[in-house]
Amino acid sequence: MSGLHAVFRRLEGRFGPQQWWPAETPFEVIIGAILTQNTAWTNVEQAIANLRAADVLTPAALVRRSPEELEQLIRPAGFFRQKAARLHHVATVLVDGYGGDVAALCAGPLDAARARLLALPGIGPETADSILLYAAHRPSFVVDAYTRRIFTRLGLLTGSERYEAIRDRFMAELPADVPLFNEYHALIVTLAKVCCRKRRPDCPACPLATDCRFARENRQKP
């Protein structure tokens, strides 16, 4: 196995299509991408269920709610004051500047669209790339802590690279293909949960084990 293509093919062969992102609309992807910051997805699901029950899953509906109402609805996702303010801000930008249309917010040259998202409060690179890829179907590779962990253990990263350097590497080595980027990130998350856990990774069950530096080094230990 060599390179990022080969890793993808092994993961795809083992885990099959992941069919992300779990959301019904592009705006719901944005909500999920913000709510999932620093929390588990199960907490996000509860917060989104509250927003759905309150009929607050469109930009126009969300901007009409007070910060206090939003905070209560998204409370299960944690950091609810910050996140309510971020959601309200992005919904306001969408309504005031883009007719509520996520595709319009993310239109134009990819770097310009990404810079537009990064300029919004509380939207960092991982959130911006998640929005571009999963809400707007733009070919922007998403890097997360799982990506760093797995590819460092494999020996394909040193572990000290900055976010942009890791993203650049994936985007240089892979074709700018939205379904590929979509599946690749989802498969990385699946591998991290099923095998490549932070503590006690299950290397014998991992489809990448034969070419993984971490697995090799740990097999050699007495």
Query: Does residue 83 belong to the site contacting ligand SF4 (CB under 6 A)?
Result: no
Find the binder of ligand SF4 among 35, 90, 154, 188 (CB under 6 A). Answer: 154
Residues 22-61 as x/- pattern, contact with ligand SF4 by CB under 6 A: ----------------------------------------
**Residues of span 173-202 touching ligand SF4 by CB under 6 A:** 195-196, 201-202
Q: Which is nearer to ligand SF4, 81 or 216 (CB)?
A: 216
Q: Could you tell me which residues come within 8 angstroms of residue 125 by beta carbon, excluding any fewer than 6 positions away?
A: 118, 143, 163, 164, 167
Phi, psi of 22 (to 5 degrees): -75, 85
Find the binder of ligand SF4 among 150, 156, 166, 188 (CB under 6 A). Answer: 150
Token duo for residue 153:
């253990």
Structural contact between residues 27 and 75, judged by C-beta atoms closer than 8 angstroms: no
Structural contact between residues 118 and 136, judged by C-beta atoms closer than 8 angstroms: no
Nearest-approach distance from CB 213 to ligand SF4, in angstroms? 8
Token duo for residue 16:
């099959």
Q: How far is CA 106 from the centre of its chain?
A: 16
Residue ranges in contact with ligand SF4 by CB under 6 A: 150, 153-154, 195-196, 201-203, 206, 208-209, 212, 214-215
